[in-house]
Amino acid sequence: MSYCVNCGVELEASLRECPLCHTPVINPVEAGKEFPPSPFPANKGQVEVVKRKDLGILLSVVLTATGVTCLLLNLLVFDHFLWSLLVIGICICLFVFIFPAVFYSKMPLLVSLSADGMAVAVYLYMIAYITPSTAWFWELGLPIVALVTLGVGIFVLLAKKVPFTILSGALCLFIEIPLFCTALELMIRRMIMSPLRLTWSAVVLTVCVIIDVALITILVKKRLRNEVRRRLHF
């Protein structure tokens, strides 16, 4: 049994160098002797990678089968209410989410993002359809989905157009969050018919304005910006 003189790892008899530190194996006692043939195969084998499209077909088939069987189960056995719409909606959403990744990777990000937003909206409508009232969907569900999609879209667009850093990304985020919260509070108040004014969202707005002012100062002052980058390692 041999050990590497450098790192001490135990060495297989056929090895000519240490597999860890690559120190050559020289054993004076066995000088001149032939190294036994390596027990390991010379070529690295690899299992063939599953093609994305094949994976996509598999996932689509599974999702379709799930939707159809649940619909049948709903219509033929447990038919007291249309619960299968909840499952079908999730299947549709998942299909729309994975579509760009497995079938069409060249799809523009904003197009796939809009499709994701629409899929979620359709799913919420399906839930609204089987609940007593659809009012919450029109007054709260749909606007929230639209706002979140718009917010993510603006974020993605900015990340593409301007030189994107963690600092500018954070600034964008801390501008979008209070706007979203303000819109959310106004929508909730409108829905429950209470006077349109800001309470909790005003607190969020205040905190975010302070953070934004700090971020803008850091971004504008080059020396400050470099110092922050150096200290936070980005």
11 is an interface residue for Zn ion by CB under 5 A: no
18 is an interface residue for Zn ion by CB under 5 A: yes
Report the nearest approach of Zn ion to the CB of residue 96 (Å). 52
Count of residues engaged in binding Zn ion, rule: CB under 5 A: 7
Tell me if 93 sits within 8 A of 123, measured CB to CB.
yes
Report the nearest approach of Zn ion to the CB of residue 32 (Å). 23
Report the nearest approach of Zn ion to the CB of residue 149 (Å). 55
Q: Which one, 1 or 220, has the nearer CB to Zn ion? A: 1
4 is an interface residue for Zn ion by CB under 5 A: yes
Please choose, out of 22-30, 47-55, 180-188, 205-213, the segment that lies near Zn ion by the rule CB under 5 A. 22-30
Give the HSE-up count for residue 131: Cα atoms under 13 Å, Cβ half-sphere: 12
Alpha helices by DSSP H, listed for the chain, are 52-76, 84-102, 109-130, 135-136, 142-161, 166-191, 200-220, 222-232
6 is an interface residue for Zn ion by CB under 5 A: yes
Please choose, out of 23-31, 70-78, 121-129, 144-152, the segment that lies near Zn ion by the rule CB under 5 A. 23-31
Q: Which among 88, 87, 111 has a CA at the least distance from the CA of 99?
A: 111
Q: Which one, 9 or 92, has the nearer CB to Zn ion? A: 9
DSSP string, 36-95: PPPSS-SSPP-PPPPPHHHHHHHHHHHHHHHHHHHHHHHHHTS-SS-THHHHHHHHHHHH
Q: Which one, 40 or 138, has the nearer CB to Zn ion? A: 40
Cα–Cα distance measured from residue 24 to residue 5, given in angstroms and rounded to the nearest whole number: 9
User: Which of 12, 16, 17, 21 is in the footprint of Zn ion by CB under 5 A?
Assistant: 21
Report the nearest approach of Zn ion to the CB of residue 65 (Å). 53
27 is an interface residue for Zn ion by CB under 5 A: no
Q: State the DSSP H helix or E strand holding residue 11, giving kind and residue range, or none if neither.
A: strand 10-11
User: Which of 13, 17, 20, 224 is in the footprint of Zn ion by CB under 5 A?
Assistant: 20
Q: Residue 173 contacts by C-beta under 8 Å, 6 or more apart in sequence? A: 155
Residues near Zn ion, by CB under 5 A: 4, 6-7, 18, 20-21, 23
